């Protein structure tokens, strides 16, 4: 891969890493949040359910926007939004407000994987897609580890609200993407085609069963993942 392609891989990996980092901050801080709001830990963990429930809707909306306006600008917008909602979570005055913010965070979080992976896969060489896809997916595990490290090193000093403030740092990745990552040449090429050839029903003709299989497969993978990590 050339330097531009390596920058795209770095951005895709960091985007998914920092996305997961922001998500798992709440998991680690749930006990402290519960004590602060005077509720049980299980009540706070409902915020995780809301976040995960909103993710598919964010994926659909941001995916459609990326098809229309480009992968790169939508990825920057998505990262900025989930970072902003993460920061806002630090100032939640009560549990209902925290729930609302985590719902919005989940909506923004849902768009990151599709945007980052499609931008990466459409720029890197075809022969590299297998190992790069595995590398990108492991960004989620790295985000979990970063959140654990933050909790271990800083929680006693900054508390749960301070952890959410630190969670705003992923927004800086937008600057890197703006400076180092180009738009997908595949997306640029599709914009030269007639509108009817870019219609979702036309593009997906003959591929719906494959898409359905992948949705079920990833649903099961995520059941294993979130069924253990979030507890």
| Gyration radius from the chain CA atoms | 18
DSSP the chain: --HHHHHHHHHHHHHHHHHHHHHHHHHHHHHHHHHHHTS-HHHHHHHHHHHHHHHHHHHHHHHHHHHHH-HHHHHHHHHHHHHHHHHHHTT--SHHHHHHHHHHHHHHHHHHHHHHHHHHHTTS-GGGHHHHHHHHHHHHHHHHHHHHHHHHHHHHHHHHHHHHHHTTGGGGHHHHHHHH-PPPHHHHHHTTS-GGGG-HHHHTTTTHHHHHHHHHHHHHHHHHHHHHHT-
CA distance 112 to 176: 15
In this structure, the answer to whether residues 187 and 220 fall within a common structural domain is no
Q: Are 94 and 37 spatial neighbours (Cβ–Cβ below 8 Å)?
A: yes
Going 6 to 181 to 109 to 91, the CA torsion angle's sign is positive
In this structure, the answer to whether residues 43 and 146 fall within a common structural domain is yes
| Overall number of domains in the chain | 2
Q: pLDDT 10s per residue in the chain (231 long)?
A: 899 999 999 999 999 999 999 999 999 999 999 999 999 999 999 999 999 999 999 999 999 999 989 999 999 999 999 999 999 999 999 999 999 999 999 999 999 999 999 999 999 999 999 999 999 999 999 999 999 999 999 999 999 999 999 999 888 999 999 889 999 999 898 888 777 677 778 888 889 999 999 999 989 988 888 888 777
Q: Phi and psi (nearest 5°) for 123? A: -110, -40
In this structure, the answer to whether residues 108 and 218 fall within a common structural domain is no
Q: Which two tokens stand for residue 81?
A: 């939004």
In this structure, the answer to whether residues 116 and 200 fall within a common structural domain is no
In this structure, the answer to whether residues 100 and 214 fall within a common structural domain is no
Q: Which two tokens stand for residue 225?
A: 């993942």
Q: CATH number, domain at 62? A: 1.20.1250.20
pLDDT at residue 225, as a whole number: 81
Domain that holds residue 90: 3-192
pTM listed for this prediction: 0.90
pLDDT at residue 73, as a whole number: 94
In this structure, the answer to whether residues 44 and 102 fall within a common structural domain is yes
User: At which residue do the structure tokens 């006693």 appear?
Assistant: 156
CA distance 153 to 149: 6
pLDDT at residue 29, as a whole number: 94
Going 201 to 202 to 204 to 209, the CA torsion angle's sign is positive
């Amino acid at each position: 891969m050339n330097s531009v392609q390596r920058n795209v891989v770095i951005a895709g990996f960091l985007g998914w890493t920092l996305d997961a980092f922001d998500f798992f901050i709440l998991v680690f801080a749930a006990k402290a949040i519960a004590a602060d709001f005077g509720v049980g830990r299980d009540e706070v963990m409902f915020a995780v359910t809301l976040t995960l429930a909103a993710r598919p809707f964010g994926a659909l909306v941001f995916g459609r926007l990326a098809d229309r306006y480009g992968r790169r600008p939508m990825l920057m917008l998505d990262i900025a939004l989930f970072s902003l909602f993460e920061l806002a979570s630090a100032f939640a005055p009560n549990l209902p407000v925290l729930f609302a913010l985590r719902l919005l965070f989940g909506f923004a979080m849902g768009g990151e994987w599709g945007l980052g992976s499609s931008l990466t896969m459409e720029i890197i060489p075809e022969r590299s897609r297998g190992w790069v896809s595995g590398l990108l997916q492991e960004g989620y595990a790295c985000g979990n580890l970063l959140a654990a490290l933050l909790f271990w090193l800083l929680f006693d000093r900054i508390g749960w609200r301070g952890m959410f403030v630190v969670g705003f740092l992923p927004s800086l990745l937008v600057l890197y993407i703006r400076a180092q990552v180009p738009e997908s040449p595949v997306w640029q090429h599709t914009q030269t085609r007639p509108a009817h050839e870019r219609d979702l029903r036309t593009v997906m003709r003959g591929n719906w069963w494959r898409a359905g299989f992948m949705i079920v497969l990833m649903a099961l993978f995520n059941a294993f993942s979130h069924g253990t990590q979030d507890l």
